[in-house]
Structure 1
């Protein structure tokens, strides 16, 4: 018992004088981007991560003459989305609502598409083309587009 107590005292003295001998973890904080700074350059990422943009698009499925079918959605993804963003994407179906231009609240099933991509004029143009094409093909009033700078590793 005396030996155990002495070892405990030596440990306490060692900690008080020399520290733990372990390096303190380095915590890196990233600034929170503001709406005015929606570019990948607005944040700094710790390696191996790189500054990218995360874009989320919300596509309503209701249209004047019915709904966008699963086959039509899959054709849109295969013909329009994948060629523009071949590195990958994530999508899921949700229930949502929005206010039309005339003030009426519309509730509908929607598809959400998440893309992580570089901050390039080509990527932004591709997103604008997707939105315009979907609105035209499926008689949509709008597609919600949100973009946030993120740190990502592929």
Structure 2
């Protein structure tokens, strides 16, 4: 009987240790000096209707007013060209774009800030969509 109880206790301890490891899975395995973070990319179309409508100056002002206050640690802006299907017209639209890359530690407030930035851009410049892509990344500065 005593041997059976010892065996049950041993099984319970092993099970508890195994399950505890499942509670918090590790992030990406980063080599030092890199740290696990999130990398977000936002793609902002610049057409309004069928013409370029968001100038470089307007995008710079948008960045200063909407993106920088939410991500003061820094960002990267790159000029691009893209295409997407306009859901209202069913047509392929090709347009100039601004790609913004942001890197941050996991934080629900930062994830919400990405959506707030996209909504502000759509309202200000009459856009249907802003692409947001977030992925785990190993980062060092």
State the TM-score, normalizing by the size of structure 1.
Answer: 0.70
Q: How far apart in 1 are the matches of 2:50 and 2:135?
A: 34
Match of residue 120 from structure 1: 107
Is 1:93 aligned to 2:87, yes or no? Answer: no
Q: 1:96 to 1:65 in 2, by over 3 A?
A: closer
| Off by >6 Å, runs of 4+ in structure 1 | none
Structure with the higher fraction of residues in strand conformation: 2
Q: How far apart in 2 are the matches of 1:117 and 1:59?
A: 20
Q: How far apart in 2 are the matches of 1:53 and 1:42?
A: 10
Choose the corresponding residue for 2:39, options 47, 51, 54: 54
Residue 71 of structure 1, CA deviation:
1.4
Aligned length: 114
Q: Deviations over 1:85-112 (max 9, x none)?
A: 1111111111111001132000100000
Residue 148 of structure 1, CA deviation:
1.2
The answer to which of 123-132 and 43-52 deviates more is 43-52
Q: How far apart in 2 are the matches of 1:115 and 1:56?
A: 6
The answer to which of 45-54 and 104-113 deviates more is 45-54
Match of residue 70 from structure 1: 56
- Structure of larger gyration radius: 1
The root-mean-square deviation of aligned C-alpha atoms, in Å, is 1.4
State the TM-score, normalizing by the size of structure 2.
Answer: 0.76
Q: How far apart in 2 are the matches of 1:71 and 1:98?
A: 24
Q: Which runs of 5+ in 1 are unaligned?
A: 1-40
Q: Secondary structure at the match of 1:71?
A: helix
Q: Which runs of 5+ in 2 are unaligned?
A: 1-25
